[in-house]
Amino acid sequence: MSDNTKNIEEKKDKFLAEENKKRIVTGPDGVQFEVDPLQDYFCDKRPVAKDPKNKVIENFLNWARAESLWVLGFGTGCGNIEIPPLLTPRFDAFRYGIQMRPTPRQSSVLIISGYLAVKTLKRAIRSYEQMQNPKYVLALGSCTINGGMYYDSYNTINRLDYYLPVDVYVAGCMPRPEALLSGFNKLKERIKAGRAEGANDYANKFDWYKANQKKIIKDWNMPDYNW
């Protein structure tokens, strides 16, 4: 156990929200028992990498996946303003099989659209983990690459790939929708080539990612993996 995780374990109680603390509950039959919300209400299994088996079938499936990119409507930073134009008649992302989904369960692409505050990162991680394998991360703007103009901020991450497996970076501050479309095309290429295995990477290097995440998310008060 690294110092950091130890640190977090110690502080867990301090940052634990009231409703997530362990409590004694009386059942209807009068028997008292303990409820530990983090244990009882959340699944604490680790993610499992699911490697493709048959090459030929997988190529076909990857083609289908690439042509059917469902994007989670989650705007993380100022870059989110560039996403709605994608859907307008001018850019019309639908023709590339791109559509927005309101729930991470059904989405396959998470767009990190710009700088990520630590607080937002926590939500982004949660959303990412709730998406289903295979899933892809598209990072927009300099901020996700090296912090951009917020490189020295006390609260903004510098590089996203330490926390989430990024498939494609789209540079710019901010990148225009055209650049975004180009990024999507890049992503499609990667998927079709079978290189966009971010979900499996995340599962395989889970401890590393978690350590990085926990380093900056100091009030880590959730299960390690948000199913």
Partner 1 sequence: MNDIIVKLLWTLLGLFIVLNWGLLMGATMRKIVARVAHRYGIPFYQPWLDLIKLYSNRSSISHGVMFYLGPVFRLGGGLGIFLFLPLIYGSEHFSNFSWAGDLILILYFQFFGMLGMALGASDGGHPNSVIGITRGLGQFTTVEVPLTLAVISIALQYNTLSISEIVAAQQGGFQNWTLVTNPLATAAAMLSLLGLFREAPFNLVKAPNEVPIGPPTEYHSAFLGILRTNGALLHVVEAALFMNLFFGGATHWVEFIVKTFLVYFWSVFVGVVSPRFRIEQSVTWFLKIPLAIGILAVILYI
Partner 2 sequence: MVGPLYIIAIALGTAFSLGFFKKANRNIPYAIMFLAIAFMTFISGQWLYAFLANQQEAIQIFTAGFQPPFSISLQMGLHEAVFVSMINGIGLLSALYLYEQFRDKGVQMMMVFILLFMGLNVIIMTRDIFNLFVFLEISTIAIIGLILLEKKEQAMSSGFKYLIASGIISGILLIGIIAIYYYNGTLFINDIISSNPLLLKGGSVAVFLTLMAIVLELKPFPVNGWALDVYESAHPGVGAILSAATGTAMLFVLYKITPFIADPWFNMIATIGIITFIGSNLLGIQQENAQRLLGYSSVGQLGLIMLVIGLSPYLGDNYLFIGFTLLISHFLAKAGLFWIAGIIKQKKIKNWSVLRKTPLLMVLFGIFILTLLGFPPFPSFFGKWELVMELSNNHQLAWIIAILAGSFLEAVYLFRWFGYALKKEIKETTSKIQFSKILPPFLFGITSLVAGYYTNIFQGDAYTINYLPLALVLIITLIDFISAKIKNSLAILAMAYYGFLTLPGLYENDFIRFIFMAIFIGGGILTLIAGYAYQGKRKGFYPAALLMFAGLGGIIEAQTTLQFFFAWEIMTFGSYLLIIRGKHSIKHGFSYILFSLGGAYLLLMAFGLMNAQVGMQISALSDINTHLNLIFSLLAIGFMTKMASLGLHIWLPGAHAEAESDVSPMVSAILLKAGVFGLLITILAMGAEYAQHSTLLYILGWIGALTALVGNLAASFQEDAKRLLAYSSIGQLGYILFAYAMATHLGWVGGFVYVINHFAFKAVLFLTIGAVVLRVGTHKMYEMGGLIKRMPLAFIAVLIGIITLSGVPPLSGFAGKWFFYHALISKGWYFQGAVVLFAGIIAFLYCFRLIQSIFLGQLKDNHRKVKEISIWFIIPIYTLIIGIMIFSARPHWILQPISEYIAPYFGRELTWNGSTAIAEMGYWNGEWIMYIIGVMFVLILGWLLYTNAKAQKVKQFNIVYSGERPFTPETTHIAHNMYAGYSKALGFIVEPYITKLWNNMSDAIVQLGGLTKRIYNGNGQTYAFYIIAYIVITFFLVF
Partner 3 sequence: MKEIIQDIKKRFNCTDEIEQSKTQTYITVKKELAIALITHLRDIEGFTHLVLLTAVDWIENNQFQLTYMLNNPTKKIDIGVRVFINRETATMDSAHHLWEQMATYQRELKEMFGIDFPGSPRLNEPFILEGWDNIPPYRRDFDTLKYAQETFFPREGRETNDPAEFMKKKMYPDEEK
Residues forming contacts to partner 1 in the complex (CB under 8 A) are: 48, 50, 61, 64-65, 67-68, 70, 89, 92, 94-95, 97, 99, 101-103, 105-106, 108, 132-134, 199, 227
Q: Which is nearer to partner 2, 23 or 218 (CB)?
A: 23
Binding partner at 222 among partner 1, partner 2, partner 3, none, C-beta below 5 to 8 Å by kind = partner 2
Q: Does 156 bind partner 3 (CB under 8 A)?
A: yes
- The token duo for 19 is 């409703």
Binding partner at 126 among partner 3, partner 2, partner 1, none, C-beta below 5 to 8 Å by kind = partner 2
- Is residue 173 within 8 A of residue 147, CB to CB? The reply is no
- Is residue 116 within 8 A of residue 77, CB to CB? The reply is yes
Q: What is the binding site for partner 2 (CB under 8 A)? A: 17, 19, 23, 25-29, 31, 33, 35, 37, 40-43, 45, 74, 103-105, 122-124, 126-127, 130, 222, 226-227
- Is residue 15 within 8 A of residue 221, CB to CB? The reply is yes
Q: Mask of contacts with partner 3, 104-143, x by CB under 8 A?
A: -------------xxx--x---------------------
Q: Which is nearer to partner 3, 175 or 177 (CB)?
A: 175
Length of the chain: 227
Residues 38-77 binding partner 3 (CB under 8 A) are none
* Among candidate residues 36, 41, 42, 8, the one with its CA nearest the CA of residue 23: 36
Stretch that binds partner 3, among 63-71, 72-80, 95-103, 155-163 (CB under 8 A): 155-163
Query: In the chain, how many H helices and how many E strands?
Result: 9, 7
List all residues 6 or more positions away from 163 whose beta carbon is below 8 Å from its beta carbon.
121, 125, 157, 209, 212, 213
Q: 210 to each of 31, 51, 82, 195, 214, how far by Cα in Å?
A: 38, 21, 30, 22, 6
- For partner 3, the binding residues (CB under 8 A) are 11, 15, 117-119, 122, 145-147, 151-159, 162, 212, 215-220
